[in-house]
Amino acid sequence: MLEYSAFTRVFDLLKPLENLEKPDLFCKKRDGIWTKYSSSETLDVIQNTAMGLVELGIKPGEKVAIISANRPAWNFVDFATQIIGGVTVPMYPTITVEDYAFIFENAEVKIVFVEGEDLFLKAKEAAKGNKNIQAIYSFDPVEGAPIWTDVRDAGKGKDRSILQTLQDAVKPDDLLTLIYTSGTTGRPKGVMLTHHNIVSNVKSLVRGKFFNLKAGDKALSFLPLCHIYERTDIYMYLFYGVSTYYAENMETIADNIREVQPTMFASVPRLLEKVYDKIMAKGNELTGFKRTLFFAAIDFGLQYDPMKKLGFLDSLKLSIYRKLIFSKWKEALGGKIRLITSGSAALQPRLSRVFWAAGIPISEGYGLTETSPVISVSQVDPIDFQVGCVGTVLDCLELKIAEDGEICVKGDSIMPGYYKNPEATAEAIDKDGWFHTGDIGEMVQGKYLKITDRKKEIFKTSGGKYVAPQLVENKLKESAFIEQCMVTGEGQKFPSALIIPEFAALAVWCKQNDIEVNGAEEMIAHKQVFAKMEEEVRMTMASVAKYEQVKRFVLLPRLFTIADGEITPTLKLKRKQIYAKHEAAILALYE
């Protein structure tokens, strides 16, 4: 493991690789075969690629863009850019040509690396008329496109002494990366993050012993590297000497988990919800004693609190449930899982409880791109967290709750500001250095941070009551029959909602109740199905204040998507856009 004092810039993580022979530092499966890069191979490729960038004339401070799904080459280009003092500009593969064009221009990108043909064509279109961009390289072979290995090969055999000179010139406060936030409105903003910002975050995670990782462990990675959440995790894995295995794609995650048998992986609540829903769907197919035992285990899990000591009878029940029911959950996750981290959105408490009961610890965290990203995280070994909260605040940060309930933080991992956007910077960071997160929260027991809503998303009903939509949405999604939803009601008598059912679960229910429907459209139009969804809404709203309860709703036949401009790449709702599309249906609820 790297010495603390030797870790002041992110590329310092490469130092131990000089004396470490790890056969599977970065791994990627393609076409059924795992390609594994050892620690020495990784270092050699990074240094050759760095020399290739130097040969291309990339100077300290200049920008290199990466638009690709996760793969070792992503890391190679990232580190190669870092060690010559360059700045990486990672972008989502799912955003529009217009956004790419804006970012290329705003960031003054010099070179672009893309995944394959589709993104090469999009980047080529976005680069039209841009005089800064020198070349667009593809990771996969594309006819008529230069390939990234050309850059690597251009650096082979060159005198690498210049690399040490360039590295020595990089200071901790130098810019490491520009990450353009997706945003729910307007143009993306370029978040400036320095080496010190991210190093501080990684050091705090390690110092706080939030994750019990060690050399020899494996991590499966599938969340996008262009988001700071997964990227900082990768840096943390390197610090510990953990091997990173990249999933083939989002559809193969379950198979890759069983094959890799990871110790840890980072997730988002949406994926954990889908895992839970699939388990519940299988449970619903059971009969007799097996079904009774399955749902007894689930009911126990939904009440479980890992912070509370169990009595003799409950301890006995838990051991039986873990042996007969929950052991199969662990097997499905490879059998060696010790930790799942969850971030980017609120995790439903029921999921936290039942996974912990299954012996699968989930560490929920909270943060933003602007905070590098972690602000707080739940400690799992030893256990020290509160279900429904997002853990304790990292020691590199100070946190305060403003008078209006907004969470404000300042410290080493806070961005210097938004690139070329002093107005947005001044709006986000006040004169005393406090970064305003835009989230509303509170401290529980003076120690655990709890998020209650987004400040700008709270609305007021015609009765003068304030409603926090995220809080209500999270309650609705506790139903196994609700996959997505958006609560609205500004200036209206009561809150209403757009609801997309969990159609797989609903199909099982329809079959059990002898309801013949073909497809989502028929399903949501069926009177019995609508009545079932009304029942689910009533049940989830029972624990919500009366003025916050959803009284009426519209069922939609398809999910909100990035492609349709309804959610951001980080799965946040674009409320204005969604409302505009469904305004007539929403207003009809109040007639």
Q: Which residues contact 410 (CB under 8 A, 6 or more apart)?
A: 397, 398, 432, 433, 434, 435
Residue 237 has pLDDT above 60, yes or no: yes
The reported pLDDT for the residue numbered 183 is 59
Distance between CA atoms of residues 164 and 51, nearest Å: 11
Confidence of residue 107 (pLDDT cuts 50, 70, 90): very high
Q: Which residues contact 270 (CB under 8 A, 6 or more apart)?
A: 345, 571
Distance between CA atoms of residues 337 and 335, nearest Å: 6
Give me the DSSP letters along 109-166: EEEEEESSHHHHHHHHHHTTT-SS--EEEESS--TTS-BHHHHHHHTTTS-THHHHHH
Please report the sign of the dihedral spanned by the C-alpha atoms of residue 67, residue 68, residue 73, residue 76.
positive
Residue 182 has pLDDT above 90, yes or no: no
The CA-CA-CA angle for residues 310, 312, 317, to 5°, reads: 80
Distance between CA atoms of residues 317 and 296, nearest Å: 10
The reported pLDDT for the residue numbered 184 is 54
Distance between CA atoms of residues 193 and 176, nearest Å: 6
pLDDT mean over 255-284: 90
More confident position, 123 or 20 = 123
Distance between CA atoms of residues 79 and 81, nearest Å: 5
Lookup: tokens for 462: 């015609």
The reported pLDDT for the residue numbered 135 is 97
The reported pLDDT for the residue numbered 96 is 87
Tell me which DSSP letter residue 429 carries: B
Which has the closest alpha carbon to 271: 324, 229, 235? 229
Q: What is the mean pLDDT of the chain?
A: 93
The reported pLDDT for the residue numbered 251 is 86
CB atoms within 10 A of CB 287: 7
The reported pLDDT for the residue numbered 468 is 85
Q: Which residues contact 185 (CB under 8 A, 6 or more apart)?
A: 574, 576
Q: Which residues contact 551 (CB under 8 A, 6 or more apart)?
A: 494, 495, 496
The label of the residue with tokens 């052991």 reads 327
Confidence of residue 1 (pLDDT cuts 50, 70, 90): low
pLDDT in tens, 475-517: 999 898 999 999 999 889 999 999 999 999 999 999 999 999 9
Residue 185 has pLDDT above 80, yes or no: no
Which has the closest alpha carbon to 104: 184, 190, 176, 185? 190
Distance between CA atoms of residues 505 and 177, nearest Å: 42
Residue 330 has pLDDT above 60, yes or no: yes
Torsions phi, psi for 165 (to 5 deg) = -65, -45
CB-side neighbour CA atoms (13 Å) of 190: 26
CB-side neighbour CA atoms (13 Å) of 292: 2
pLDDT in tens, 6-62: 899 999 999 988 888 899 999 998 888 999 999 999 999 999 999 999 999 999 999
Lookup: tokens for 374: 């972690």
Lookup: tokens for 125: 């279109």
Tell me which DSSP letter residue 494 carries: S
First to last CA, the chain: 65
Q: Which residues contact 28 (CB under 8 A, 6 or more apart)?
A: 34, 35, 70, 71, 72, 245, 246
pLDDT mean over 444-461: 88
Residue 563 has pLDDT above 90, yes or no: no
Give me the DSSP letters along 566-578: SB-TT--B-HHHH
The reported pLDDT for the residue numbered 20 is 81
Please report the sign of the dihedral spanned by the C-alpha atoms of residue 109, residue 111, residue 117, residue 121.
positive
Distance between CA atoms of residues 189 and 97, nearest Å: 16
Distance between CA atoms of residues 522 and 182, nearest Å: 34
H or E element in which residue 332 lies: helix 327-332
CB atoms within 10 A of CB 589: 18
Q: Which residues contact 217 (CB under 8 A, 6 or more apart)?
A: 240, 242, 243, 262, 263, 264
Confidence of residue 344 (pLDDT cuts 50, 70, 90): confident
Residue 186 has pLDDT above 70, yes or no: no
More confident position, 165 or 284 = 165
Lookup: tokens for 440: 């509303």
Provide the percentage of residues in the chain whose pLDDT is more than 90: 80
CB-side neighbour CA atoms (13 Å) of 232: 30
Confidence of residue 583 (pLDDT cuts 50, 70, 90): very high
Give how far Cα 233 sits from Cα of 45, 184, 267, 399, 584, Å.
Answer: 21, 25, 11, 22, 43
Residue ranges in 2-89 assigned as alpha helix (H): 39-55, 72-83
